[in-house]
Amino acid sequence: MWRGAISFGMVAIPVRMYLANESKGVSFRLLCPRDGAPLRNKRWCPVEECEVGWNDAVRGFEVGKDEYVRIEDEELDNLPLDTTRTIEILEFCDDSEIDAGVYVKGAYYLEPEAVGVKPYQLLRKALEKTGKVAVGKVALRDREHLCRLALHERAILLNTLHWPDEIRDLGQLALPDAEVEVHARELDMAVMLVENLAASFDPARHRDGYRDAVQSLVEAKLTDRPLERAPSPPLAQITDLMAVLKASVEASSRQRQAALDSDAEPERATGSARRRRAS
């Protein structure tokens, strides 16, 4: 999908870049309610009141209200950027320094061109030996991205990253502060819940249930058979909870009775001794 070169120092490694993932989300087309025809979006010129074809439309950069600067494709191709056809590596760092949770946008595989196999392999080995990842810049789809190059099995993976000013500040959120009191018992219970569900991450175990359900719905409609409903989970019984509470109350009652009995025992013993002494 993209051809260029990884560039660092005096080295240039010619590579092709492919998307590492594909979207399989459920998408719907909008239809006309009367005849069921799929609706189309039209590029409409409000001045001439006519449709404009894809190839006739030109790009415009909005500089003010209703004020645009026209930009041609050739002008974009000739932007004075080093990254239009290269992945320019700026530095190597530890992977843990990049907060992947918020920074990573997209994932792409890099494949070496025939002439770039050896330097590609060299870069792979160097990343493997140092345990570092490369941080660089690349221009994709009319904009420059920050990116990370890391090892992924036999390939080099490129992740596009958000620019730092694209990451929102946490100050906008009402997050709990240290003043919120957490009891040790509550924390123990939360830790226990986490440990009960602890497992090693195996992506194959997880499926997109919504997509499956929509697929079933479509198949059922195609074959005109009634849709199978997911069985409802059995309703919980409040009596189970009350049984636990009652058992706890009874245990507490037994303990209290035992404590009363043990308090009364020495008294009875003293009393009987006294009686014995009296007799």
Judged by CB under 8 A, which stretch of 7-15, 133-141, 207-215, 240-248 contacts other proteins? 240-248
Residue 239 in the binding site for other proteins (CB under 8 A): yes
Q: Do 140 and 189 contact (CB within 8 A), yes or no?
A: no
Among 26, 115, 217, 241, interactor with other proteins by CB under 8 A = 241
Residue 236 in the binding site for other proteins (CB under 8 A): yes
CA quadruple 114, 119, 125, 131: dihedral positive or negative? negative
d(Cα 134, Cα 41) in Å, to the nearest integer? 42
Among 19, 249, 259, 269, interactor with other proteins by CB under 8 A = 249
Among 27, 172, 200, 223, interactor with other proteins by CB under 8 A = 172
- Using DSSP's 3-state secondary structure scheme, residue 228 falls into coil
CB of 187 to other proteins, least distance (A): 13
C-beta closer to other proteins: residue 69 or 251: 251
Beta-carbon contacts of 21 under 8 Å, excluding residues fewer than 6 positions away, are 106, 107
Residue 35 in the binding site for other proteins (CB under 8 A): no
Among 185, 206, 207, 225, interactor with other proteins by CB under 8 A = 185
Residue 246 in the binding site for other proteins (CB under 8 A): yes
Distance of CA 143 to the CA centre of its chain: 23
Classify strands 11-19 and 104-112 as parallel, antiparallel or unpaired: antiparallel
Q: Do 192 and 175 contact (CB within 8 A), yes or no?
A: no
Give the binding site for other proteins (CB under 8 A).
171-172, 174, 180-181, 185, 229, 232-246, 248-249, 252-253, 256
